[in-house]
Amino acid sequence: MTHEFLIDIFKSAVDAVDPYNLILRKLNIKNGILKLFDENESFELDLNNFDKIIVIGIGKASAKMALGVENVFKGYDFEGLVVTKYGHTEKLTKFEVLQAGHPVPDENSIRGAEKIINLLKNVNDKTFVLTLVSGGGSALVSAPREGFTLADKQDITGKLLERGADIGEINCVRKHLSRMKGGGYLKLLKDSFSLNLILSDVIGDRLDTIASGLTYFDSTTFHDALKICVKYNIEGKVKEYFKKGALGGAEETLKEKDIKSSRFKNVIIGSNYHALLGAKKKAKQLGLSPLILTDELFGEAREVAKVLLSFARGFKKYHKGYDCLISGGETTVTIKGSGKGGRNQEMALAFLSELTKNDEGIYFLSAGTDGNDGPTDAAGAMASYEILKRAYEVGLNPDDFLQNNDSYRFFEQVKALVKTGPTNTNVCDVQIVLLK
Amino acid sequence: MTHEFLIDIFKSAVDAVDPYNLILRKLNIKNGILKLFDENESFELDLNNFDKIIVIGIGKASAKMALGVENVFKGYDFEGLVVTKYGHTEKLTKFEVLQAGHPVPDENSIRGAEKIINLLKNVNDKTFVLTLVSGGGSALVSAPREGFTLADKQDITGKLLERGADIGEINCVRKHLSRMKGGGYLKLLKDSFSLNLILSDVIGDRLDTIASGLTYFDSTTFHDALKICVKYNIEGKVKEYFKKGALGGAEETLKEKDIKSSRFKNVIIGSNYHALLGAKKKAKQLGLSPLILTDELFGEAREVAKVLLSFARGFKKYHKGYDCLISGGETTVTIKGSGKGGRNQEMALAFLSELTKNDEGIYFLSAGTDGNDGPTDAAGAMASYEILKRAYEVGLNPDDFLQNNDSYRFFEQVKALVKTGPTNTNVCDVQIVLLK
């Protein structure tokens, strides 16, 4: 039964961040009054004050969010546009849908940005703009600043990655080459009133990071971007442009002081923590006593597995009060082998490979909320002493598979993969430990 | 103040497993009745039933345990022998003290074993043997079986290590080449009554692992040892001896069925968990709300740091109830640089290097209870956003030091080392997270 419990709890975590459900649960309209309910804030808006409503969805989950909006806005006119990843669309009747490249932007990413800019051209204080933001947004819409092309942006990103720049440095540079990122999108909204509903796929839920901070101010400057060019030996027109910007000759990204906070609202309607709360609720329904440990898990997957196992052992011995440990986040895998797998399956395999007979009664699952762990058709996998025994019975040694980063082929054979199919949501990964 | 709290809590953890204090707290004699108090069991023994008392200490903490015994056994005659590591002795008046090699056994390790065998030669059911076991015991006494030398044992251990054998396999082989390990010591005690007080330096506190299981049965056999020789291509007299043993021609290690449980008692009087309880008690006295997460932490130190930080972030956000997270165990460091440090300092440095402004209010300490982290004079180090700022102010980049495994030189300069001096105890490491 315990393996089934793991699956049930994980599925409840995913359900809790289903974009369609989230919109329906948190947003409704009665007598022209739009209401938003959220744990952290509630909010009302009289739609009668506006002449025009525009709904724009950007990101991998935006079509499913838009489907919710169609339902909530039944009987209301609006202009709708969704830019999502190829294949991530839904049957929408009131939205124009554009599918674009992810993780590598393509020509449709340029077209997506152009369409958005066009749609927002004539907004004014009588316009209400509802924006649906989710992960992937930064690749799906691409608006290079004048004088630069998509190829220029890709070229500099590639160079920075090669030369060891971190994600913060790369984002600083990209924001300063974009008309959308780093709050550029918010600038386009001018005096309109805007509500930005955000599904976070970023650990820590930083608004300046989700979809490269479309709807939030940027704390980095041209000066910072220039220093990064110097640090990584980047010459040419990008550096010249940053130099010009640092001297006041180009438009800065959106700054905190320039935000009119009365005219817009950013609300994170779904995040990894919401998924963990869904898991917690289900665990309680199953009669368990759950404890959420973190929604910011990070590190090398196979090492993280050891620490989670050490906590499982600790709680099994000393905290009879808690028998379900829930965590979430996003780990990394340093690939050394040639096998097939993903960070969740690798974590489950590393967990499994450390188990001994003393660990009977410890059950583990790690899986991605998007239903897609690495280049596989699984969301993740499970580990337990029973599964380890099953592996030995059929002559499989987990260490061999772990060494070859071949977690998928291992779990396929011991029938411990977690499969959900694509979920059209994404709030990173979830780990569940059950103690019996 | 918070950094001082970290130090106070850590010192209380160490105090809680001070061998001298442990003996005094848990053992006393009144009117000839020896009493042992422990959380898990209490126990009484009428010393008047015995003609002779022998006290043997084996391990790095044995001299300090013996000092406690001298105090408890004031007015009682006993024969006492302590075998400890060079420099780990105390001013003992009723014990013969022999100092021997650790971690590499030397001629004194052979002499130590001989002395023990000699001392126990004439024990009978009128003899009470009190044994004080602590980490290091397996190197400090060495009694190769007939036909083998210390060099033989070292040779095979080296070969097995080289060829990738794990610690379980190496211990199986070593136990079957030793007259002491794998319960061999317990056999020497014959019909005497024995009480074995054990200070555990092993994660999980397995009695068959601490000091190579001197006082506990062994679940591995000659057959297992032979299979290991085949697996790692070991030929020669060791393999021949195991073959002979597997056919019944040599004496097996002590087996569970051969133990007379009425004649001996193993009691773990101190372990990592006891240290964590000491930390917890102190934290409460300081007005904090502590939670012990695990006493079995393991994994690559710099990755473990990330997971502990993710938990700190999670608890800071969602569990206002707990503001002090305590864990313990023993991590590893894969050395790639040429710097100076230890696993605790490396963990603290990795923790520090991940901190951002959002992490203000998170304070971390990792340190070894033996007061000696790697080849340094520090027990460990601390991390916090304040310390990170101090580093930046003096132009130090934690990432550079981390890359070079040079944690000691980093923390020396930012004055965040934890120093206790040698503590003559050892129950692995302690990590403390404080949340403000």
Q: How far apart are CA B363 and CA B366, in angstroms?
A: 11
ipTM: 0.86
Under the banding of pLDDT at 50, 70 and 90, the label for residue B206 is confident
A121 and A182 in a single domain? The answer is yes
Q: Is B73 a domain residue?
A: yes
Q: Which candidate, B411, B336, B401, places its Cα nearest to that of B373? A: B411
B66 and B99 in a single domain? The answer is yes
A292 to chain B, any CB pair closer than 8 A? The answer is yes
B261 and B321 in a single domain? The answer is no
B422 to chain A, any CB pair closer than 8 A? The answer is no
Q: How far apart are CA A182 and CA A258, in angstroms?
A: 13
Q: Is B339 a domain residue?
A: yes
E strand intervals along A388-435: 417-418, 429-435
Averaged over A214-238, what is the pLDDT? 94
The answer to whether B68 and B130 are in contact (CB under 8 A) is no
List CB contacts (< 8 A) between A293 and chain B: 311, 314-315
Q: Which of A236, A270, A304 finishes a domain?
A: A270
Of A293, A295, A314, the CB nearest to B296: A314
Q: Is A25 a domain residue?
A: yes
Of A292, A306, A317, the CB nearest to B314: A292
The answer to whether A178 and A184 are in contact (CB under 8 A) is yes
Element housing B296 (H / E): strand B290-297
B421 and B284 in a single domain? The answer is yes
**What three-state secondary structure class fits B125?**
coil
Of A204, A310, A358, the CB nearest to B294: A310
The answer to whether A294 and A328 are in contact (CB under 8 A) is yes
B419 and B280 in a single domain? The answer is yes
Which positions ≥6 away from A160 have C-beta within 8 Å?
A169, A170, A173, A228, A232, A234
Determine what percent of chain B is predicted with pLDDT higher than 70. 100
Q: How far apart are CA B98 and CA B108, in angstroms?
A: 7
List CB contacts (< 8 A) between A318 and chain B: 273, 292, 295
Expressed as residue numbers, the domain containing A259 is 18-143+178-218+253-270
Interface size between A and B, measured as CB pairs under 8 A = 81
What pLDDT sits at residue A210?
Answer: 85
Is B303 close to A300, i.e. CB distance below 8 A? Answer: yes
CA A131 to centroid of chain Cα atoms: 16
pLDDT (tens digit, 9 = 90+) per residue, A336-362?
A: 999 999 999 999 999 999 999 999 999
A129 and A41 in a single domain? The answer is yes
Q: Is B244 a domain residue?
A: no
Cα dist from B15 to A71, B69, B83, B197, B265, whole Å: 64, 18, 23, 18, 25
Q: Is A126 a domain residue?
A: yes
Q: Is B161 a domain residue?
A: no
pLDDT (tens digit, 9 = 90+) per residue, A288-320?
A: 999 999 999 999 999 999 999 999 999 999 987
Is A329 close to B310, i.e. CB distance below 8 A? Answer: yes
List CB contacts (< 8 A) between A329 and chain B: 310
What pLDDT sits at residue B417?
Answer: 98
A209 and A298 in a single domain? The answer is no
A314 and A266 in a single domain? The answer is no
CA B125 to centroid of chain Cα atoms: 31
A258 and A305 in a single domain? The answer is no
Q: Which of A207, A240, A270 finishes a domain?
A: A270
For chain B positions 152-211, those within 8 Å of chain A (CB to CB) are 204
Q: Is A412 a domain residue?
A: yes
Average pLDDT, chain B: 94
A297 to chain B, any CB pair closer than 8 A? The answer is yes
Q: What share of chain A is helix, strand, coil (3-state, %, to 5)?
A: 40, 20, 35
Cα dist from A2 to A384, A432, B355, whole Å: 10, 11, 37
What pLDDT sits at residue A68?
Answer: 97
Is B303 close to A308, i.e. CB distance below 8 A? Answer: no
What pLDDT sits at residue B13?
Answer: 98
CATH of the domain at B280: 3.40.1480.10
Q: How far apart are CA B291 and CA A153, in angstroms?
A: 48
Is B314 close to A299, i.e. CB distance below 8 A? Answer: no
pLDDT (tens digit, 9 = 90+) per residue, A161-212?
A: 888 888 889 889 999 999 999 999 999 999 999 999 999 998 888 888 888 8
B203 and B349 in a single domain? The answer is no
Residue A40 pLDDT > 80: no
DSSP state of B103: S
Q: What's the pTM value of the predicted model, to 2 decimals?
A: 0.89
CATH of the domain at A87: 3.40.50.10180
Element housing A45 (H / E): strand A42-46
Residue A261 pLDDT > 80: no
Which tokens hold the place of A395?
A: 């002559």
A208 and A318 in a single domain? The answer is no
Residue B39 pLDDT > 80: no
A389 and A259 in a single domain? The answer is no
Averaged over A44-67, what is the pLDDT? 96
What pLDDT sits at residue B368?
Answer: 97
**What three-state secondary structure class fits A249?**
coil
Which tokens hold the place of B122?
A: 């004439």
pLDDT (tens digit, 9 = 90+) per residue, A69-102?
A: 999 999 999 999 999 999 889 999 999 999 999 8
Number of domains within chain B: 2
Q: Is B2 a domain residue?
A: no
Is B314 close to A307, i.e. CB distance below 8 A? Answer: no
Is B294 close to A300, i.e. CB distance below 8 A? Answer: no
Q: Which of A306, A346, A397, A403 should one mutate to test binding to chain B, selecting the residue with the greatest count of B CBs within 10 A? A: A306
What pLDDT sits at residue B204?
Answer: 87
Average pLDDT, chain A: 94
List CB contacts (< 8 A) between B292 and chain A: 314, 318-319
pLDDT (tens digit, 9 = 90+) per residue, A121-170?
A: 999 999 999 999 998 888 899 999 999 999 999 899 889 988 888 888 98
List CB contacts (< 8 A) between A273 and chain B: 318
